[in-house]
Amino acid sequence: MPSAQRHKRGQTVRLTNVDVVIRELAGLDPPILDQLASIVIDCVADGASIGFVAPLLPPEAREFWRSVETPSVRLLIAEVEGTVVGTVHLQLATRANGLHRAEVAKLLVAPMMQRRGIARRLMNAIESVARREGRCLLVLDTREGDPSNLLYQSMAYVEVGRVPRYVRSSERVFEATVIYYKDLDPVLAS
């Protein structure tokens, strides 16, 4: 794996030689669920806008992941030496007129493991899952100004528009969200 530098709160930590394994989960066993809960808690504490306000406590975080485990969700995790360091999932549209469509949700990388290409790998993997499931149109949204916008734009996601005051931050400030889509197969989608 390539080395990477991380700049956070004045720290620079060089990270090297880490193998990241991406895999799809068939179900959520308790140890994985606890690790996913830790990641979402840490991301929220780090300022992420992902549906929660700080402080996010373990029971709420675990309850969220339990709610994700449904037949219409495909869940991926990224692991380093058996520890979960990232995740993303795909919500398959279930209505009859939307069976070609899915929403990408909760792309999260543990704060200490960010800036190493893990999110990009998760996104590539979730797009493969979408193709396998026959979903050629992906939609997602993310907070205006977040680094995630750069990732999605670099992967050919197209901005649809912005919704002002879509969410409130942990500091109770209203913030806008940016909505994106991507045609995985523009010919099929036309």
Ligand X SMILES: CC(C)(COP(=O)(O)OP(=O)(O)OC[C@H]1O[C@@H](n2cnc3c(N)ncnc32)[C@H](O)[C@@H]1OP(=O)(O)O)[C@@H](O)C(=O)NCCC(=O)NCCS
The full length of the chain comes to 190
Q: Which of 3, 5, 83, 154 binds ligand X (CB under 6 A)?
A: 154
Kindly tell me which of 31 and 147 has the beta carbon lying closer to ligand X. Answer: 147
Query: Which member of 77, 92, 142, 182 binds ligand X (CB under 6 A)?
Result: 142
Q: Per the structure block, which two tokens stand in for 189? A: 């989608």
| Spatial separation of the C-alpha atoms in residues 47 and 16, rounded to whole Å | 26
3-state secondary structure of 27: coil
14 forms part of the interface with ligand X (CB under 6 A):
no
Burial of 70 (0-12, 13-18, 19+ CB in 10 A): exposed
State which residue, 19 or 190, has the beta carbon closest to ligand X. Answer: 19
61 binds ligand X (CB under 6 A): no
Distance CA 94, CA 128 (A): 19
Which of 102, 108, 130, 138 contacts ligand X by CB under 6 A? 108
Single residue of 148, 178, 180, 182 touching ligand X by CB under 6 A = 148
Residue 44 binds ligand X, judged by CB under 6 A: no
Residues binding ligand X (CB under 6 A)? 43, 48, 50, 107-109, 114-120, 142, 146-148, 150-151, 154
